[in-house]
């Protein structure tokens, strides 16, 4: 299709840039081409050229066809006009990557991806080889708004949201890390009206170490710097903008000074109240090397795909753990950094979880303190008065306030049959609770957890004798100066199906190779694959809600499929971690289980083997991956 509008050489260049070759599936190729066309604003151009080509071609039609086309033509015309009008009214930011240089030499075959964010707009490149000057895509388009903006409107949108640049490095073992970060203040961009910038990438958590340089060009479309207004009106607009910038900087300095002074007073009051050592999380080190108020890490995020607490908990549990980068500890990544990297530390998960729970209006807090082993921990709690939920060690513990003042463990997440789960709760002290609007420091002695009860501790945040509250009005003002959170990208069902089919095909190849090594053939059975695949969605539903469904129906289906003298066995497995789509790693996980290995190496009369992969996508790159293998045969003595 695109060869009708682009030269053969240009098509070849695009395919090479998008890593499309003869082995690429049609669905994946279509997705990559579509994203490229949209990011380069070629869709409307192709639409108009296609319309002209159709109008120029003489077509012979009978009267019935003419009547049908006449009734449809006005609708298509109106739709095209609306589409072009909508696109022309959008406020876009086009970012051209001119060149890169001074990147460090990789120690292994790393790949890099470039992630950009401005206001609500986001864009990311395909992964490219890590060299000293990696070649990312030439142009990125970020949508800032549905309507054209004036310069003053653009300033108000972006004054708290600088251009964020992240380069994510992924290794062959699947691990991901932040290679470098940078930011560009839009207030300075609007003041200087420059287009070309030389950006220094800084190391993760270190604002001093430079790890690369990116040369880029900014272009607002429609252009906010050009106007048809008279000189007098232009001068008035310029004066308004200048006054707004001055007021913005004065307010920022005033609030910063106020917060520093309030922190000093707060710490002095704590020292006079208690002598015990507390971890008071007023300021935290971020991934960009800046020390900022802890409340500014929490920014409410809402997603239609993750609109319940159960879905959010599941989403957080599915995020792969990240390697402790450069042995740096106590760095708290912002939500956008965590989502771009696709993996997280305990601190990162706590920040993202609290932000998402705040997005659905739940009273959630990040909770820090010490365990019984005197080590630090981070958790998330949701306080509903007499009921408290604590997310800790990938479990949700549900506590209920009893008449005697103790909190009893009423339930816990999806492992209710696991009697060992309550023993995971080893929290001894709760030092600080914080979210986007509040910081509470506990004045209580250590928590005593025994017989599934919390003794000598209360989550009543309204009592000054139990919790000391930081200046709420000041924190409320600071909450108005946080960055705009971008929308989460849905993990589409089509993408999930493509991922499942691709992994399933590769696993079949590995199973066939394994059986061929011992002189066995591989009789695939699509009927058996469909049968055992029924349970995978039920397993994911159980993980999501804690409810077990479909067992009776599945057992009846198996009895109907398997004859009386046949042997049936199946082995389901949830695959997690960075290598969840790496077929050799998944195959190795199956074979490490005795049941899985027996099924793969099964032999017998009328043998049928089944395999099914199920992928449940949530958001971004986060998804649940389930694999089940099964075998039916008549055993041979």
- Whether this model's pTM surpasses 0.75: yes
**CB proximity list for 264: less than 8 A, separation 6 or greater:** none
Contact 367/382 with Cβ under 8 angstroms? no
Q: How far apart are CA 503 and CA 612, in angstroms?
A: 9
Residue 253 Ramachandran class (φ > 0 left, ψ -120 to 50 alpha, else beta): alpha
Is 201:213 a contact under the CB 8 Å cutoff? yes
C-alpha 343/C-alpha 351 separation (Å) is 13
Distance from chain centroid for Cα 293: 23
- DSSP class of 524: B
Of 82, 223, 80, residue with least CA distance to 149 = 223
Which pLDDT tens digit goes with each residue over 377-401? 999 999 988 899 999 998 999 999 9
Give the pairing of strands 331-332 and 283-286.
parallel
Q: Count CB neighbours of 354 within 10 A.
A: 29
**pLDDT score for 363:** 95
- Helix or strand holding residue 328 (H, E): none
Q: What is the DSSP track for 364-410?
A: EEEEEEEETTS-EEEEEEEEETTEEEEEETTEEEEEEE-TTSPEEEE
Query: In 3D, which of 577, 561, 551, 482 has the Cα closest to residue 529?
Result: 561
- Whole-number Å distance between alpha carbons of 561 and 527: 9
Q: What is the pLDDT of residue 448?
A: 79
The burial of 17, by beta-carbon neighbours within 10 Å (0-12 exposed, 13-18 middle, 19 or more buried), is given as middle
* Per-block mean pLDDT, blocks of 10 residues, the chain (637 long): 68 78 75 67 49 41 43 43 56 94 81 92 91 89 89 90 92 84 93 92 86 94 74 81 92 93 91 71 88 92 92 94 62 91 92 95 94 91 91 91 86 64 86 94 83 86 91 91 82 93 95 93 94 92 82 88 91 90 94 94 93 95 95 87
- Give the closest residue to 132 by CA, choosing from 98, 105, 97: 105
Q: Name residues whose C-beta falls within 8 Å of residue 309's C-beta, 6 or more positions apart in sequence.
A: 357, 360, 362, 382, 389
Strand order in the sheet with 376-384: 448-450, 453-455, 407-412, 395-401, 387-392, 376-384, 364-371, 427-434, 439-442, 467-469
Q: How far is Cα 206 from Cα 345, in angstroms, rounded to an integer?
A: 17
Whether 624 and 616 have beta carbons less than 8 Å apart is answered as: yes
Report helix angle 493-517 to 26-39, nearest 10: 140
The SS3 call for residue 150 is coil
Tell me the pLDDT tens digit for each residue of 580-608. Answer: 899 999 999 999 999 999 999 999 999 99
Nearest to 162 by CA among 142, 137, 138: 142
Give the DSSP H/E element, type plus range, for residue 302: none
* Cα 344 from chain centroid (whole Å): 10
Distances (CA, A) of 37 to 18, 200, 413: 12, 29, 44
Class of domain 274-479 (CATH, top level): alpha beta
Q: How many CB atoms lie within 10 A of CB 440?
A: 21
Residue-level pLDDT at 61: 42
Q: H-helix or E-strand containing 102?
A: none
**What Å distances lie between residue 68 and 72, 185, 187, CA to CA?**
6, 55, 55
Helix H or strand E encompassing 240 = helix 231-273
Nearest to 437 by CA among 358, 492, 534: 358
Distances from the Cα of 7 to the Cα of 4, 11, 45, 56, 511, angstroms: 8, 6, 15, 21, 43
Phi and psi, residue 12, nearest 5°: -60, -40
At the topology level, CATH places domain 493-634 in Pathogenesis-related Protein p14a (3.40.33)
Q: Which helix (H) or strand (E) holds 607?
A: strand 605-619
CATH numeric code, 91-226 = 2.60.40.150
Q: Does residue 146 contact residue 189 with C-beta atoms inside 8 Å?
A: no
User: At a CB cut-off of 8 Å and minimum separation 6, what does 236 contact?
Assistant: none
DSSP state of 31: H
Distance CA 168, CA 340 (A): 8
Helix, strand, or coil here: 124? Answer: strand
Which residues pair with residue 575 across a beta bridge? 625
- Contact 452/409 with Cβ under 8 angstroms? yes
- Closest by CA to 86, choosing from 28, 148, 137, 40, is 148
Cα separation, 23 vs 17, whole angstroms: 15
Strand 283-286 versus strand 567-575 pairing type: unpaired
Rounded Cα–Cα distance for residues 141 and 152 (Å) = 21
Q: Verify cis geometry, omega within 30 degrees of 0, for the bond prior to 121.
A: no
As given in the structure block, the two tokens for residue 399 are 């506590």
Question: How far apart, in whole angstroms, are the C-alpha atoms of residue 113 and residue 136?
Answer: 8
Q: Which residues in 75-103 are b (16+ Cβ under 10 Å) and which e? A: eeeeeeeeeeeeeeebbbbbbebeebeeb
The structural domains of the chain, with segments of one domain joined by +, span 2-89, 91-226, 274-479, 493-634
């Amino acid at each position: 299709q695109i060869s009708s509008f682009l030269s053969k050489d240009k098509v070849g260049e695009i395919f090479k840039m998008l890593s499309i070759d003869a082995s690429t599936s049609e669905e994946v190729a279509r997705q990559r081409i579509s994203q490229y066309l949209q990011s380069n604003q070629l869709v409307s151009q192709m639409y108009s050229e296609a319309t002209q080509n159709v109008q120029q071609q003489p077509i012979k039609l009978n009267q019935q066809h003419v009547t049908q086309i006449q009734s449809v033509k006005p609708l298509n015309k109106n739709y095209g006009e609306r589409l072009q009008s909508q696109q022309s009214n959008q406020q876009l930011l086009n970012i051209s990557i001119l060149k890169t240089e001074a990147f460090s030499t990789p120690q292994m075959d790393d790949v890099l991806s470039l992630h950009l964010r401005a206001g609500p707009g986001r864009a990311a490149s395909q992964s490219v080889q890590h060299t000293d000057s990696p070649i990312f895509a030439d142009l990125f388009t970020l949508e800032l708004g549905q309507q054209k903006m004036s310069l003053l409107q653009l300033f108000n949108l972006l004054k708290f949201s600088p251009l964020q640049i992240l380069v994510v490095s992924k290794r062959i073992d699947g691990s991901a890390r932040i290679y470098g970060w940078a930011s560009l203040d839009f207030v300075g961009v609007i003041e200087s009206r420059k287009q070309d910038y030389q950006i220094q990438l800084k190391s993760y958590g270190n604002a001093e170490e430079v790890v690369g340089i990116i040369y880029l060009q900014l272009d607002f479309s429609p252009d906010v710097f050009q106007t048809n207004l008279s000189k007098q009106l232009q001068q008035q607009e310029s004066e308004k903008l200048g006054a707004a910038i001055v007021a913005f900087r004065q307010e920022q300095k005033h609030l910063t000074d106020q917060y520093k002074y309030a922190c000093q007073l707060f710490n002095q009051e704590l020292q006079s109240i208690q002598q015990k050592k507390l971890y008071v999380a007023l300021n935290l080190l971020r991934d960009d090397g800046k020390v900022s108020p802890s409340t500014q890490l929490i920014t409410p995020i809402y997603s239609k795909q993750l609109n319940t607490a159960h879905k959010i908990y599941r989403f957080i549990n599915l995020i792969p753990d990240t390697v402790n980068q450069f042995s740096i500890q106590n760095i708290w990544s912002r939500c956008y950094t965590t989502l771009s990297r696709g993996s997280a530390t305990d601190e990162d998960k706590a920040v993202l979880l609290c932000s998402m729970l705040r997005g659905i209006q739940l009273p959630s807090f990040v909770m820090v303190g010490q365990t019984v082993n005197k080590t630090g921990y981070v958790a998330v709690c949701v306080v509903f008065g007499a009921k408290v939920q604590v997310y800790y060690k990938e479990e949700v513990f549900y506590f209920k306030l009893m008449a005697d003042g103790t909190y009893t463990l009423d339930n816990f997440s999806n492992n209710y049959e696991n009697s060992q789960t309550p023993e995971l709760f080893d929290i001894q002290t709760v030092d600080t609770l914080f979210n986007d609007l509040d910081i509470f420091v506990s004045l209580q002695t250590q928590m005593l957890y025994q017989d599934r009860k919390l003794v000598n501790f209360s989550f009543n945040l309204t009592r000054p004798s139990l919790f000391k509250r930081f200046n709420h009005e000041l924190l409320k003002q600071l909450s108005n100066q946080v960055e705009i959170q971008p929308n989460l990208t849905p993990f589409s069902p089509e993408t999930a199906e493509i991922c499942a089919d691709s992994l399933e095909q590769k696993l079949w190849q590995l199973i066939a190779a394994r059986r061929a090594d011992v002189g066995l053939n591989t009789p695939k059975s699509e009927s058996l694959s469909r049968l055992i695949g029924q349970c995978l969605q039920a397993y994911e539903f159980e993980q999501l809600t804690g409810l077990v469904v479909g067992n009776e129906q599945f057992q009846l289906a198996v009895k109907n499929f398997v004859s009386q003298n046949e042997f049936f066995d199946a082995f389901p497995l949830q695959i997690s971690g960075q290598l969840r789509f790496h077929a050799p790693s998944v195959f190795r996980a199956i074979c490490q289980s005795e049941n899985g290995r027996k099924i793969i190496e099964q032999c017998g009369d009328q043998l049928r083997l089944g395999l099914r992969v199920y992928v449940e996508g949530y958001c971004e790159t986060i998804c649940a991956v389930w694999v089940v293998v099964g075998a039916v045969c008549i055993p041979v003595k």
